[in-house]
């Protein structure tokens, strides 16, 4: 009968043989990297206090790092003082909020993701052209709220079931939250077909979101355990976690390396890692290093 020491050694050898693979598309997208660079560069050179209107991105650890660098979060422009620098977050804001910030004498800088800006433009165009505008996305999400501000009266549709009992106009135009899952958009479109004469769909889901979801699903199908890195308040990271969980039962959504547990990787031969669009590369590296450390213990 093998001794306990031999068993422990065998377990360590199996763990050390595990492969750690990062999804081909993972981590911070262009819009997030752009916003972070804008805010950090401004904070280094600024002589006035720097704020972001709401969290710049949905990543608590990054927001904490920015706070340590002197960039504070305000929930309303009135919380800042005349002359202060105020960044519009990556998710965008309503035109009214931005106008009020300028009226209060703030230096307004726009860190809104360019792809979110495209949603705003599409929503405005559909409104001008007389469509009943529907924003397919999560009610209450900052990006969705900002988009509705560019199309007053727009209906927010989170899923096909939200259309039950809704009066649908003859001409309907859809715009979509950039981080939404494609499956949700397809279900909403299918639910509207036959209920209106004209359905115009502006598929404004960000290409980076789709690529991350596809890469995560592919890796999760092969992995014995998956780690999804990103803020729990991040819609796109939550979607990634859901996608991975459907393919890999041992999926864990974390924000920090300290949350990792060695037991998650017991007997795993392939450990997959993916990360939301608000997760910088250094956080992925830190998680990978921590997994390697746990496997070697």
Instruction: Return the half-sphere exposure (C-beta side, CA atoms, 13 A cut-off) of residue 130.
Output: 3
C-beta separation of 157 from 134 below 8 A: yes
Question: Token digits for 125?
Answer: 């165009």
From residue 70, give the alpha-carbon distance in Å to each of 43, 49, 102, 176, 192: 7, 8, 22, 34, 48
Q: What is the DSSP string of 32-68?
A: HHHHHHHHHHHHHH-SS-EEEES-SSS-HHHHHHHHH
In 3D, which of 110, 101, 111, 38 has the Cα closest to residue 75?
Answer: 101
Catalytically active residues, by annotation: 143
Count the Cβ atoms, other than its own, within 10 Å of residue 149: 18
């Amino acid at each position: 009968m093998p001794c306990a020491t031999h068993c422990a050694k065998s377990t360590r050898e199996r763990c050390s043989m595990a492969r750690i693979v990062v999804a081909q598309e993972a981590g911070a997208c262009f819009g997030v990297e752009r916003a972070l660079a804008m805010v950090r560069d401004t904070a280094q050179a600024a002589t006035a206090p720097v704020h972001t209107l709401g969290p710049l991105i949905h990543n608590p650890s990054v927001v904490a790092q920015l706070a340590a660098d002197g960039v504070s979060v305000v929930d309303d422009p009135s919380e800042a003082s005349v002359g202060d620098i105020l960044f519009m977050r990556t998710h965008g804001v309503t035109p009214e909020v931005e106008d009020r910030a300028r009226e209060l004498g703030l230096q307004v800088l726009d860190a809104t993701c360019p792809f979110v800006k495209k949603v705003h433009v599409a929503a405005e165009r559909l409104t001008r052209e007389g469509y009943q505008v529907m924003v397919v996305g999560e009610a209450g999400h900052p990006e969705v709220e900002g988009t509705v501000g560019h199309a007053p009266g727009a209906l927010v549709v989170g899923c096909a079931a939200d259309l039950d009992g809704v009066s649908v106009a003859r001409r309907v135009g859809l715009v979509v939250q950039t981080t939404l899952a494609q499956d949700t958009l397809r279900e909403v479109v299918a639910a509207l077909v036959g209920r209106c004469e004209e359905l115009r769909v502006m598929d404004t889901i960000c290409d980076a979101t789709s690529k991350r979801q596809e890469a995560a699903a592919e890796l999760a199908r092969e992995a014995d355990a998956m780690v999804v890195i990103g803020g729990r308040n991040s819609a796109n990271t939550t979607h990634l976690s859901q996608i991975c969980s459907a393919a890999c039962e041992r999926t864990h959504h974390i924000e920090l390396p300290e949350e990792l547990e060695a037991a998650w990787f017991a007997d795993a031969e392939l450990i997959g890692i993916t990360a939301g669009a608000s997760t910088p590369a250094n956080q992925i590296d830190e998680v990978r290093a921590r997994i390697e450390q746990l496997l070697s213990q």
